[in-house]
């Protein structure tokens, strides 16, 4: 069965510092990969997605992610975080032939001034 691992439950970074959130997936087929962000009491907002082609994808709010097939990873990065980036971040995966989107357990991001 497909699964997604986000090894970091909680990350704290200083405002202006760089950020990398980790995501690994398991399965054999070519994945469709997504990153979502959730602010408290809200639904999930799509940050970016990867289907094929260029392995470095750009998203909204200055985020980017890199797909590395050899490592089964899709890590999210941002060069300089802002206080408004404090939220919970979810990685998700789907595969051709399976509509169900499987989510990781999320990483909570705290920003300190």
| Interacting residues with other proteins (CB under 8 A) | 32, 34, 36, 41-46, 49, 51, 90, 94-106
- Least Å distance, CB 91 to other proteins, is 11
Question: DSSP H helical segments within the chain, as ranges?
Answer: none
- Least Å distance, CB 41 to other proteins, is 8
With vertex at residue 22, the alpha carbon angle to CA 53 and CA 13, rounded to the nearest 5 degrees, is 125
Task: Give 77 or 95: the residue with its C-beta nearer to other proteins.
Answer: 95
Per the CB < 8 A criterion, the answer to whether 31 and 93 are in contact is yes
Task: Give 27 or 32: the residue with its C-beta nearer to other proteins.
Answer: 32
- Least Å distance, CB 72 to other proteins, is 18
Beta pairing, strands 3-5 & 24-26: antiparallel
Task: Give 14 or 39: the residue with its C-beta nearer to other proteins.
Answer: 39
Half-sphere exposure of 35 (CA within 13 A, CB side): 30
């Amino acid at each position: 069965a497909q699964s997604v691992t986000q090894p970091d439950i909680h990350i704290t970074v200083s405002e202006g510092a760089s950020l990398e959130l980790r995501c690994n997936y398991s399965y054999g087929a070519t994945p469709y990969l997504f990153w979502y962000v959730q602010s408290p009491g809200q639904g999930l907002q799509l940050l970016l997605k990867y289907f094929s082609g260029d392995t470095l994808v750009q998203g909204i709010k200055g985020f980017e992610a890199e797909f590395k097939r050899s490592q089964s990873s899709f890590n999210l990065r941002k060069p300089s975080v802002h206080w408004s980036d404090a939220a919970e971040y979810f990685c998700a995966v789907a595969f051709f032939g399976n509509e169900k989107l499987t989510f990781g357990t999320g990483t909570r991001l705290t920003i300190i001034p």
